[in-house]
């Protein structure tokens, strides 16, 4: 259970991201080792080797720096009415999802997440125009199942928000007589009454 009105960090996020980085790095290092063992690497143009290795080292060095930097900016907060998510290394972003817009909450844990003891909670909302999409994902948390139940409990306490056009899903609005239509109905009734009186007179 996460405390309400307090920002909390995805404590397993860095470990999960580093696991993904290692998973990508292993086949690259293996390929370089095979090329070096077979002698093909030494037969290539040295500049090609230097540039290729330089790009790989630069890319993985940047990712290694970015992972903890992103973790320092990522935070979630559960309030009485909405879920908030802040993140961004270079550009700060904030996503706010009201509970009455949430249509589905699911918890998931893949093999790599299970390895690092992490999981994810997907928040889905009713989009405008009849479209449904994932608004945000709470990833890199250990108690993902408890967070899912906590959010669902808040969602069930609130009525669903009206969809585009102001109608509640599954409810057909009743047509009522407006003030502008009332005089027209009176005129029609008077005309019918006059016709009936004329018919009686003849």
In a domain, 168, yes or no: no
Which position has the higher pLDDT, 114 or 189?
Answer: 114
In a domain, 123, yes or no: yes
Q: What is the CATH number of the domain that holds 106?
A: 2.30.29
In a domain, 75, yes or no: yes
Domain tally, the chain? 1
pLDDT of residue 137: 93
Which position has the higher pLDDT, 156 or 169?
Answer: 156
Q: How far apart are CA 23 and CA 45, in angstroms?
A: 28
Could you give the percent of the chain with pLDDT greater than 90? 58
Residue 96: pLDDT over 70: yes
Q: How far apart are CA 176 and CA 114, in angstroms?
A: 57
Q: pLDDT tens digits, residue range 31-44?
A: 989 988 898 888 88
In a domain, 187, yes or no: no
pLDDT of residue 174: 47
Residue 202: pLDDT over 70: no
98 sits in which H/E element? strand 93-98
Residue 190: pLDDT over 90: no
In a domain, 63, yes or no: yes
Q: How far apart are CA 78 and CA 82, in angstroms?
A: 6
Q: pLDDT tens digits, residue range 98-142?
A: 999 999 999 999 999 999 999 999 999 876 445 455 688 999 999
pLDDT of residue 192: 77
Residue 71: pLDDT over 80: yes
Secondary structure (DSSP) of 45-83:
-HHHHHHHHHHHHHHHHHHHHHHHHHHHH-EEEE-SSEE
Q: How far apart are CA 11 and CA 200, in angstroms?
A: 89
In a domain, 186, yes or no: no
Q: Which domain holds residue 68?
A: 13-156
Residue 178: pLDDT over 60: no
Q: 0.85 exceeded by the pTM? A: no
Distances from the Cα of 165 to the Cα of 18, 120, 168, 173, angstroms: 45, 33, 9, 11
In a domain, 116, yes or no: yes
Helix (H, G, I), strand (E, B) or coil at 189: helix
Distances from the Cα of 18 to the Cα of 53, 64, 68, 136, angstroms: 20, 8, 10, 21
- Scanning the chain, the segments in alpha helix (DSSP H) are 13-38, 40-43, 46-73, 111-116, 144-156, 181-201
Q: How far apart are CA 145 and CA 138, in angstroms?
A: 11
pLDDT of residue 129: 46
> What mean pLDDT is reported for the chain?
84
In a domain, 103, yes or no: yes
């Amino acid at each position: 259970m996460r405390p309400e009105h307090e920002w909390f960090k995805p404590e397993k996020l860095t470990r999960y991201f580093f696991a993904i980085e290692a998973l990508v790095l292993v086949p690259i290092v293996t390929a370089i080792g095979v090329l070096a063992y077979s002698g093909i690497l030494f037969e290539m143009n040295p500049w090609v080797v230097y540039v290729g290795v330089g790009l790989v080292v630069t890319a993985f060095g940047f990712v290694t720096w970015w992972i903890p930097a992103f973790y320092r900016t990522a935070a979630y907060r559960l309030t009485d009415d909405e879920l908030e998510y802040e993140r961004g290394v270079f550009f700060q972003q904030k996503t706010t999802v009201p509970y009455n817009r949430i249509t589905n909450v699911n918890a998931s844990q893949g093999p790599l997440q299970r390895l690092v003891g992490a999981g994810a909670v997907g928040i889905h909302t009713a989009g405008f125009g009849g479209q449904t999409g994932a608004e945000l994902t709470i990833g890199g948390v250990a108690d993902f199942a408890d967070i899912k139940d906590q959010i669902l409990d808040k969602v069930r306490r609130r009525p669903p928000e009206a969809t585009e056009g102001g109608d509640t899903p599954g409810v057909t609005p009743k047509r009522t007589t407006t003030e502008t239509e009332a005089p027209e109905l009176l005129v029609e009734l008077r005309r019918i009454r006059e016709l009936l009186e004329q018919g009686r007179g003849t």
